[in-house]
C-alpha cells in the first residue's frame, strides 16, 4: 500500500518517500512521523500520541518535536507558516490535512496509477514579489565567452536581491537551467516565484548589447522587454539600468531607493572585472585545480585594481573551498593569507553583502575568528535577506557557537531561497552536524548520507558520517567512512578537531573526539 498526496508517495513497506520518481531523503524518525500522521489523518494527533509512538514514550522536548515537524514539512514542500499539509492545532495537537489516495502495489512493486515521471510540486509563492533570473544566452564569441554572460546575470541577481521588498532566487538554483529549453510556467512552479527574467548578451569588440524580457510565470504573459546597448566600459551602467527597469516593472510602488543606493561600480577597471568573472567561473567548477586557478585570477584582478573588494573576498572564499574539500594543508601562511584577504575586502567595502558574507565566513571557518565572522555574516543578511549562501554560512556559524535550532532555521531558509542549488550538500551536511550535536544520531546519519549522494568528494560529509555511525553503534560503517575521509585528507587527526570545525562548546568537541576514536581516526 502506498499513500499518494499532491506529487508525493509514501511507501511504508519500503520506508521511502517519493516525489515523482525521485526518492526524498528523510531521517527514520521523520518518516515515522509522516507515516503516523497520514495513517491517522482522520483525527487530531496529540503530542503524547506522537511521543508514545515515535519515541516509545521517552521524554522529548517541545523544541525537538517542533524541529521534527518542521523537517517533515520541508520534506513534503510544506512550511510552518503555510501549514498546507501538516496543521498544528494549538493546545490540541497535529493533523495531516492534505488529500490522500491509497494505492495498492502490483506484484512488481510499482504503483500502477503513478506515472514514472511527475512534475515537481509547486512551491508556495512568497508574500512579496518574487523573481528568478535565468542564465542569459551568449550570442557571440563561443563557449569561452560564457563566463562574461554568467557574470552579468550574477550581478543583476545581486542588484535585485538588495531590495528587501523582493524575494530573489539564488544564482545556484537558476543556473541549473543553463543550456536547457525551459517552460517558464514550470520554472515558476519549481522555484516558487511569480516572475522570471531571461535574456541574452552579445559582446563584439568594445561594445555590448544586453536584451531582457520579464515574464509572469503564473500566466506566461510578457510584462516587459528591452534592449541595452553601450560601450563595454559602461557595462555597469547597463546592469543598473536593467535592474532598475525590472524592479519598476514588477512592483511600481516599491521603494527604489534601496536599489539606487546599491548601484555602484565594483571596480574602475574593466580588465580587473574580466579577470574576476573568469575567477568566479573557475570557482564554481569546484575542483582542486580550478579552485587554485580561481585564486590566481583573483590575484591578477587585485594586481590591476588594488581596491577591488569583491576580488579579495572571492580569494578568501577560495580558501574556504580548499579547506572544506581537504585541498589545503592548514599552514600558518594559508591562514594568514585568508585573514589578509578577508580583512582587506572589509576595509575596502563594508556595505556590500557579498563581500561581508564571504569575508565573515572566511574569518569564522578558516581563521577561527567565529564571533567576528558571525557579526559580518549577520550584517550581510540584514542588507540582503535573499543571499542563500550567507544563510548557509550563518547556519554553520551557529553550529560552531552551539546554537542548534537557529542553525537549522538558517539552513531551511537557504533551501527555500535556492531549492535547486547544486551546493545543497552544504545544507545537508550542516543539518547532519546539527542533529549529531543534538544527539539525534539517526536523523544525522540520514542527512550525512544525503550529503555524500550529492557530493561524493565532500570531506565534511564523511567526517560527520563516521561520527554519526560511531555514536549509533555501527562501528564497521564508521570505520569505512573514516577510511574514505582519510583518503580525501590524510592529515585528519583527532587532535586537529578545532582546526576542522572551530567549535566553541567543550561538550561538542569531546563528543566529536569520542566518535572519531570509535571510528578509528588517529590521535
The model's confidence at residue 258, banded by pLDDT at 50, 70 and 90, is very low
Checking if the pLDDT of 193 tops 80, the result is yes
* Contact in structure between 472 and 445 (CB atoms under 8 Å): yes
- Listed range (178-192, 205-219, 353-367) with the worst mean pLDDT: 205-219
Cell of 299: 590575484
Q: What angle do CA 302, 150, 295 make, to 5 degrees?
A: 30
Q: Residue 291: its pLDDT value, please? A: 92
- Listed range (172-186, 330-344, 350-364, 505-519) with the worst mean pLDDT: 172-186
Q: What angle do CA 64, 68, 71 make, to 5 degrees?
A: 135
Average confidence (pLDDT) over 291-313? 93
pTM over 0.75: no
Cell of 146: 560564457
Q: What's phi and psi for 211, nearest 5 deg? A: -115, 150
Average confidence (pLDDT) over 77-82? 80
Q: Sketch out the chain's domains with CATH numbers.
A: 2-103 (1.10.10.10), 130-265 (3.40.50.10610), 266-385 (1.25.40.10), 412-523 (1.25.40.10)
The model's confidence at residue 111, banded by pLDDT at 50, 70 and 90, is very low
The model's confidence at residue 199, banded by pLDDT at 50, 70 and 90, is confident
Cell of 157: 541577481
Q: Please state, for a pLDDT cut of 90, what percent of the chain lies above it.
A: 19
Q: Residue 189: its pLDDT value, please? A: 86
449: Cβ contacts below 8 Å, ≥ 6 apart: 25, 465
Q: Which segments within 69-121 are labelled E, that is strand? A: 86-89, 93-96, 101-103
Average confidence (pLDDT) over 348-352? 88
* Contact in structure between 322 and 358 (CB atoms under 8 Å): no
- Listed range (256-265, 327-336, 412-421, 459-468) with the worst mean pLDDT: 256-265
Q: Residue 140: its pLDDT value, please? A: 67
CB neighbour class for 449 (10 Å; exposed up to 12, middle 13-18, buried from 19): middle
- Listed range (23-27, 122-126, 216-220, 409-413) with the worst mean pLDDT: 122-126
- Listed range (78-87, 104-113, 264-273, 386-395) with the worst mean pLDDT: 104-113
The model's confidence at residue 107, banded by pLDDT at 50, 70 and 90, is very low
Average confidence (pLDDT) over 290-295? 92
Q: Residue 249: its pLDDT value, please? A: 53
Rg of the chain on CA atoms, in Å: 24
The model's confidence at residue 14, banded by pLDDT at 50, 70 and 90, is confident
- Listed range (259-263, 473-477, 510-514) with the worst mean pLDDT: 259-263
| Long-range Cβ pairs for the range 400-404 (8 Å, 24+) | 400/364, 400/370, 400/501, 400/502, 400/503, 400/504, 401/370, 401/371, 401/374, 401/504, 401/505, 402/437, 402/503, 402/504, 402/505, 402/508, 404/434, 404/437, 404/438
Amino acid at each position: 500500500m502506498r499513500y499518494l498526496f499532491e506529487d508525493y508517495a509514501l511507501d511504508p513497506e519500503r520506508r521511502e518517500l517519493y516525489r515523482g520518481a525521485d526518492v526524498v531523503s528523510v531521517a527514520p524518525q521523520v518518516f515515522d512521523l509522516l507515516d503516523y500522521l497520514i495513517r491517522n489523518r482522520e483525527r487530531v494527533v496529540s503530542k503524547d500520541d506522537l511521543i508514545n509512538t515515535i519515541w516509545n514514550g521517552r521524554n522529548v522536548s517541545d523544541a525537538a518535536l517542533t524541529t521534527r515537524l518542521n523537517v517533515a514539512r520541508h520534506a513534503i514542500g510544506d512550511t510552518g507558516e503555510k501549514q498546507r499539509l501538516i496543521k498544528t492545532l494549538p493546545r490540541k495537537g497535529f493533523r495531516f490535512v492534505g488529500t490522500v489516495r491509497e494505492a495498492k502495489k502490483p506484484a512488481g512493486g510499482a504503483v500502477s496509477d503513478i506515472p514514472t515521471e511527475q512534475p515537481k510540486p509547486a512551491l508556495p509563492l512568497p508574500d512579496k514579489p518574487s523573481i528568478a533570473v535565468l542564465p542569459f544566452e551568449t550570442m557571440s564569441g563561443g563557449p569561452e565567452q560564457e563566463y562574461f554572460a554568467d557574470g552579468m546575470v550574477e550581478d543583476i541577481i545581486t542588484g535585485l536581491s538588495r531590495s528587501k521588498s523582493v524575494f530573489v532566487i539564488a544564482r545556484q538554483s537558476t543556473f541549473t537551467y543553463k543550456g536547457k529549453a525551459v517552460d517558464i510556467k514550470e520554472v515558476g512552479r519549481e522555484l516558487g516565484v511569480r516572475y522570471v527574467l531571461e535574456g541574452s548578451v552579445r559582446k563584439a569588440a568594445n561594445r555590448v548589447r544586453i536584451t531582457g524580457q520579464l515574464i509572469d510565470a503564473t500566466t506566461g504573459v510578457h510584462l516587459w522587454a528591452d534592449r541595452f546597448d553601450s560601450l563595454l566600459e559602461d557595462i555597469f551602467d547597463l546592469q543598473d539600468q536593467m535592474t532598475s527597469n525590472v524592479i519598476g516593472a514588477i512592483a511600481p510602488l516599491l521603494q527604489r531607493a534601496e536599489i539606487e543606493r546599491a548601484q555602484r561600480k565594483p571596480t574602475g577597471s574593466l580588465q580587473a572585472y574580466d579577470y574576476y568573472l573568469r575567477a568566479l567561473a573557475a570557482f564554481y567548477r569546484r575542483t582542486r585545480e580550478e579552485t587554485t586557478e580561481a585564486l590566481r585570477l583573483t590575484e591578477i584582478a587585485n594586481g590591476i585594481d588594488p581596491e577591488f573588494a569583491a576580488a579579495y573576498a572571492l580569494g578568501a572564499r577560495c580558501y574556504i573551498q580548499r579547506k572544506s574539500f581537504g585541498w589545503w594543508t592548514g599552514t600558518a601562511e594559508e591562514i594568514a593569507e585568508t585573514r589578509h584577504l578577508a580583512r582587506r575586502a572589509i576595509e575596502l567595502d563594508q556595505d556590500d553583502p557579498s563581500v561581508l558574507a564571504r569575508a565573515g565566513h572566511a574569518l569564522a571557518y578558516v581563521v577561527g575568528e567565529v564571533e567576528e565572522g558571525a557579526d559580518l555574516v549577520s550584517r550581510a543578511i540584514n542588507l540582503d535577506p535573499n543571499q542563500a549562501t550567507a544563510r548557509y554560512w550563518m547556519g554553520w556559524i551557529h553550529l560552531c557557537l552551539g546554537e542548534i535550532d537557529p542553525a537549522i532555521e538558517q539552513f531551511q531558509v537557504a533551501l527555500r531561497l535556492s531549492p535547486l542549488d547544486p551546493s545543497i550538500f552544504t545544507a545537508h551536511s550542516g543539518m547532519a552536524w546539527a542533529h549529531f550535536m543534538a544527539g539525534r544520531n539517526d536523523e544525522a546519519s540520514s542527512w550525512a548520507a544525503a550529503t555524500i549522494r550529492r557530493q561524493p568528494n565532500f570531506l565534511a560529509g564523511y567526517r560527520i558520517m563516521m561520527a554519526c555511525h560511531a555514536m549509533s553503534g555501527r562501528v564497521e560503517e564508521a570505520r569505512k567512512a573514516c577510511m574514505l575521509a582519510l583518503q580525501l585528507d590524510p592529515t585528519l587527526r583527532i587532535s586537529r578537531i578545532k582546526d576542522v570545525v572551530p567549535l566553541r562548546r567543550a561538550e561538542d568537541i569531546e563528543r566529536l573526539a569520542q566518535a572519531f576514536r570509535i571510528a578509528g581516526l588517529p590521535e
